[in-house]
Structure 1
């Protein structure tokens, strides 16, 4: 959620820090700040609002070769200059930037206040700066030792970077539940909460694990545990480059990432489909045919769009493999004391691989002996490392807060998982070949939907005045409707509700009137007549209808029709979802919304 950038080297730190913050803007934030050491002093500049407002305040030259920076998403205290990071101790010696939530912050602040410390912000982070300063005053031998001692008093999650004005050649970083990555340059080192801030400078990175610290200097880094045990962390090379985070002629990242979906799906399929045996190869699962046959149930765990992708995946598994499957919000999983079945395959879904609720669900499963695989888009992420096996999405970097290409690649990956599970059971070779061909055709089908952009934009314009909208679907169309409502809510701020079509007459039908458009997902499948009946019920009560379909509807039945091509029925929801992405996008643009950075939201949710 929040963004962290740190630098130590030979260059002027502030341009590096601010450029890094700019690349992390997509994560969501409400204030920004930097701190550098200049002539033995920590110089801090902060601003509530966007990074550009911070940039506007940095008019006075402050050359320095070391510094830390932050974009804050408020958890403790309102967005303001005072609550923005970095935070200092009372003497201005220690500066700290922090992602996460300190759960015992109230107690720590009270203890510091009783000791005579004057706290100047409402944040949990400020307490960490004072704790570190106290440990140094008490004789801690190094900054790393002081940070370690302070963190032993802290309960909660953190990704943090610490700067000491008396040690202007080193940074100390630590991680527990919130990502921290080191970037290795030539005679310089970088720190960030996301590789997006690093790839402009280096592709060699080190991912810290939970409970791990690092001391970073221009030419070296040293890692250790919270218990002061040295660890060995070898750099890895990420396949992302700076151009992945550029608009490339598109008006915004959401539009760019929707346009990249055909290519992203091709990457997800590459080398994974087997026409000869009509199956899929997912070597990252680490499961042979015997282990796959032993799976008696599949449960998908994710948050937001990842959860809805899991629902689509559950439908695919039940249809193709005939194994009971369902999806559940990862945020609720560990709190209900779940029964963990050793014969169930759990699938943890996260675009970033750092979603805290999903990571906590994985840890709960591992603690109880569950078999869990990951479906993530970031190699080396926390969920990927915790699971140890799974499916890499190959969607490429996703910058816009609203997930499009990653969500699509999730469902494509689950279709391959369902095909694989089906073919080791009773799915016939002929049916397998049909699904393989259907998967091969997906990039072209998605390209066709994207080519209908102008028509969908006109539909959006006609309904841009709506204050509320229904999204309706049955069975295959139900998760599509839920994802469509999610997209509309998060980027347009229009209130949207998703319902199973059959539930409409059990209460929600009371809300239908001329000002309540209904978006009805109508796949050309065995439930077509049922879905047509739903539309008739809405029209009989004066409700406008937008049908999203690949079927031939009776003329005049719906007020607007968004058409997609026919394909294999099991895979049609993937293409229908792309059409709803475009509808939500154009409604949001028509309303003048910032589609890449919707209010109150963040790309990678690393707090509860």
Structure 2
């Protein structure tokens, strides 16, 4: 009778499953999704409650990160949705609604969206959207207009999205710099930094929290910030940071890096840091995302939707933002000379053109790929700033070819 879509992890599902087995429930799989669905159904039966109320009761019991969509066969025109630590976006059309983890799938149908917050329930009908909190109090939906074009989520003649996104990098890096960096005037304009410059230049230390490719961008930023700003930097893997008892002080600055702005481990880590009085600065690509909302301030990378699973243009966009941050803070703090500051501005402004020149050598890169296609192991070597890039290169090769690869200093 009930159907459910679940994205995430229910961490205490084993305990709940044991309780249900004692009640006579049987399971066809070992998934936490099946356990959660049966748990909701059990609550519905025992409490004689409707689906909305049963879900609300269930969510007070379960722990983990999740996005849940529920539908009852007896009321097929209503979807009940909820989220915690896993993204949920609702697109608002004419007499219709769309539910997804990001806005890309329905951009051709509507540009009006609502980003559902943690611990909120959405009751969605074709012509009605109601948001409530777990206390059953109504919440006013905040409708936003998407700044995204359909062309951004189409392949545009490329064989696949990853290739398209690789070749978009000259324009996406330019978009990231545009309106912020003026090499001729010798200025960087970033309101998120300017409004909080005292916190940044007086930081006891900077903690960079991220996962995967974003973590590699953070490792590059560690070199940049310590060199240009003379502030101690630590780079933490979010999934490890969240499960230990980290020492966080009110004078600490946290830089959270995430393409989607919805990385569950990073979100939990930020919540811990925020509770301990740290200042949160988000570097994200997705406007309106959870990390963007959690952060006290931040900067968008303006890379556009990244459809390819293996991150490319988001990584270079993150590096551009982090470099501008370091230059801006170093200039304000007086830890970088005017001459070097100006030279680095000019170099940074030239990056889109230099990336374009590299991409024009694509045929040469294809020839190299053909020559080494049968190799079983790849070692990527890098020193200094290039070490994190070596790690990223190895990750990319592993992600898309499943060939063993490692990065080494």
TM-score range, shorter chain: over 0.9
Which segments of 5 or more consecutive residues in structure 2 lack a partner in the other structure? none
* Cα distance in 1 for residues equivalent to 2:217 and 2:294: 21
User: Relative to structure 1, is the Cα distance of residues 211 and 310 closer, same or farther in structure 2, using a 3 angstrom cutoff?
Assistant: same
The Cα shift of 1:480 comes to 1.5
Whether the 8 Å contact between 2:119 and 2:133 is mirrored in structure 1 is yes
Residue number among 104, 111, 120 corresponding to 1:196 in the alignment: 104
The Cα shift of 1:227 comes to 1.9
- Per-residue CA distance 1:140-182 (angstroms, 9 max, x = gap): 4532112112222322221011101111221100001111111
Higher deviation after alignment, 253-262 or 386-395? 386-395
Higher Cα Rg: structure 1 or 2? Answer: 1
Aligned residues: 408
Residue number among 55, 60, 73 corresponding to 1:152 in the alignment: 60
Is it true that 1:248 corresponds to 2:152 in the alignment? no
User: Relative to structure 1, is the Cα distance of residues 334 and 151 closer, same or farther in structure 2, using a 3 angstrom cutoff?
Assistant: closer
Is it true that 1:117 corresponds to 2:25 in the alignment? yes
Whether the 8 Å contact between 1:96 and 1:128 is mirrored in structure 2 is no
The Cα shift of 1:290 comes to 3.0
| 1:415 alignment counterpart | 323
Runs (4+) of structure 1 moved beyond 6 Å? none
1:183-582 superposed matches below 5 A: 183-275=91-183, 278-285=186-193, 287-426=195-334, 427-500=336-409
- Per-residue CA distance 1:97-152 (angstroms, 9 max, x = gap): 11111122122222222212232232211222223323333454532112112222
SS of equivalent to 2:6: strand
Is it true that 1:106 corresponds to 2:14 in the alignment? yes
The Cα shift of 1:342 comes to 2.9
Whether the 8 Å contact between 2:65 and 2:264 is mirrored in structure 1 is no
SS of equivalent to 2:271: helix
SS of equivalent to 2:131: strand
TM-score (norm 1): 0.65
1:41-120 superposed matches below 5 A: 93-120=1-28
Whether the 8 Å contact between 1:279 and 1:419 is mirrored in structure 2 is no
* Cα distance in 2 for residues equivalent to 1:140 and 1:193: 31
Whether the 8 Å contact between 1:160 and 1:175 is mirrored in structure 2 is yes
Which segments of 5 or more consecutive residues in structure 1 lack a partner in the other structure? 1-92, 501-608
SS of equivalent to 1:157: strand
The Cα shift of 1:277 comes to 6.0
- Per-residue CA distance 1:10-61 (angstroms, 9 max, x = gap): xxxxxxxxxxxxxxxxxxxxxxxxxxxxxxxxxxxxxxxxxxxxxxxxxxxx
TM-score (norm 2): 0.95
Whether the 8 Å contact between 2:250 and 2:276 is mirrored in structure 1 is no
